[in-house]
Amino acid sequence: MANKLSAVIIMGLAIFSLVSVTSATSGTATYYTVYTPSACYGYEDEGTMIAAASEGIYNNGGACGQMYKITCTGATNAGVTQPCTGASVTVKVVDLCPSPGCQGTFDLSQEAFSTIANVNAGKVDINYTP
């Protein structure tokens, strides 16, 4: 009996830890079109599935090279009422999106943004996970 109870408790903890690790955080995304130089890599070409992170995520360069899976969850304005494509994109952090000019949690490359949303929306609500 004790072995069965221990097994149930261990299984429950394992499931709980998986759920907490995979929980997405909500934020917003915008896009940009000039990719170099970047705060992390200067003039090195890091491809097009890239992003600039807001100061909280950037963490004084600690986020450089980290990958994030980003999914559009909805519109932030009335301009494009259904902007999301239904797809997700994985981007590499290559730059800082400094405040006060930064308008989103992530400033995605135009190619990454267009994977998850209509670029005419300009800014969308997102969920993201490292």
Q: Which of 57, 56, 55, 84 is nearest to 68 (CA)?
A: 57
Whole-number Å distance between alpha carbons of 58 and 120: 26
Report percent pLDDT > 90 for the chain. 72
79 vs 73, which has greater pLDDT? 73
Confidence of residue 77 (pLDDT cuts 50, 70, 90): confident
Q: Which one has a higher pLDDT value, 35 or 87? A: 87
Indicate the pLDDT class of residue 9, thresholds 50, 70 and 90. very low
How many other C-beta atoms are found inside a 10 Å radius of the C-beta of residue 128? 20
Q: Which two tokens stand for residue 21?
A: 């690790």
- Compute the distance between CA of residue 31 and CA of residue 112 in angstroms, rounded to an integer: 8
pLDDT digits (tens, 9 = 90+) for 81-120: 999 999 999 999 999 999 888 889 999 999 999 999 999 9
What's this model's pTM, rounded to 2 decimal places?
Answer: 0.81
Confidence of residue 130 (pLDDT cuts 50, 70, 90): very high
Q: Rounded to the nearest 5°, which phi and psi values hold at 64? A: -55, 125
Q: Supply the pLDDT for residue 125.
A: 97
